Amino acid sequence: MRHGNLVKRFDRDKGQREALFRGLVTDLLGYEKITTTEPRAKEIRRVAEKMVTLGKRGDLNARRQAMAYIYDEKVVEKLFGDLAKRYAERAGGYTRVIKIGPRIGDGASEAVVELVK
For the chain, give every domain's residue range. 2-115
pTM of the model: 0.90
- Which residues make Cβ contacts (< 8 Å) with residue 42, sequence separation at least 6? 1, 97, 111
CA 14 to chain centroid:
17
Segments of the chain scoring below 70 in pLDDT: 1-7
pLDDT of 9: 86
pLDDT of 84: 97
CA angle, 26 as apex, 89 and 63 as ends, to 5°? 60
Each residue's pLDDT tens digit, 75-96: 999 999 999 999 999 999 999 9
Determine the Cα–Cα distance for residues 32 and 23; give it in Å rounded to an integer: 13
pLDDT of 13: 92
CATH class of 2-115: alpha beta
Helix (H) or strand (E) holding 68: helix 60-69
